[in-house]
Amino acid sequence: MEQHRTRPPHNGTRRGAPGVPAAPLPAQARGERRPPVDRRPVPPVVRTLRRLPNPRLTGLGGGLFCTAVMFVLGGLVSLLLGPALTVYGVLFLPVCVLTAVWIRRADLLTAPVIVPIAFAVGLLPVADTGEGTSGHLMGLFTALATQAGWLYAGTLATGLIALVRRIRLVRRRTR
């Protein structure tokens, strides 16, 4: 479908009645600089954090991100260290924090729901397995039971970050 312009093109000339002088240009347009504003210096940590990527994931995107990363981490832990569930649990915490920080504001409430599911999916390659399906399920449930502390800690961290972000959002809206 063709889009028509609603304004005439701007080619640098000013419109106005002939013979009427144009309004004076602001200082910035004339090339003059404004006096510097007195600001506090930005700490180096803040400058470093600002350079990091800041994606905004939807609820589904956050779930896919967290689940895929935990599955890959679970596979790497299993491949490199065997069934090292503590290493897997430690790696789960930064993924939880990133998920909570990168979820967009509208989907904040999905973050604490996503991370336990991703934890369980990531345990599939790490958990000790026995013979057949029942042995695999038994290893998965045993790993979930013994690593519940990591699961609760990651879910709590995600929930707290989402809650703080939500409170800040509501306060900003009420101002």
Chain segment 107-151, per-residue pLDDT in tens: 999 999 999 999 999 999 888 777 888 888 898 898 999 999 999
Whether residue 61 is contained in a domain is answered as no
Whether residue 4 is contained in a domain is answered as no
pLDDT digits (tens, 9 = 90+) for 40-50: 888 887 788 77
Whether residue 151 is contained in a domain is answered as yes
Residue 80 pLDDT > 60: yes
Q: Is 88 exposed, middle or buried (0-12, 13-18, 19+ CB in 10 A)?
A: buried
Whether residue 92 is contained in a domain is answered as yes
Structurally, the chain folds into a number of domains equal to 1
Residue type, 110: T
pLDDT digits (tens, 9 = 90+) for 13-63: 555 556 556 666 665 555 667 666 667 888 887 788 778 777 888 889 999
Whether residue 26 is contained in a domain is answered as no
Whether residue 139 is contained in a domain is answered as yes
Q: Is 129 exposed, middle or buried (0-12, 13-18, 19+ CB in 10 A)?
A: middle
List all residues 6 or more positions away from 96 whose beta carbon is below 8 Å from its beta carbon: 66, 115, 154, 155, 157, 158
- Which domain covers residue 167, as residue numbers? 76-174
The two three-digit tokens of residue 6, written as one number: 């609603």
What pTM value is reported for the model? Answer: 0.69
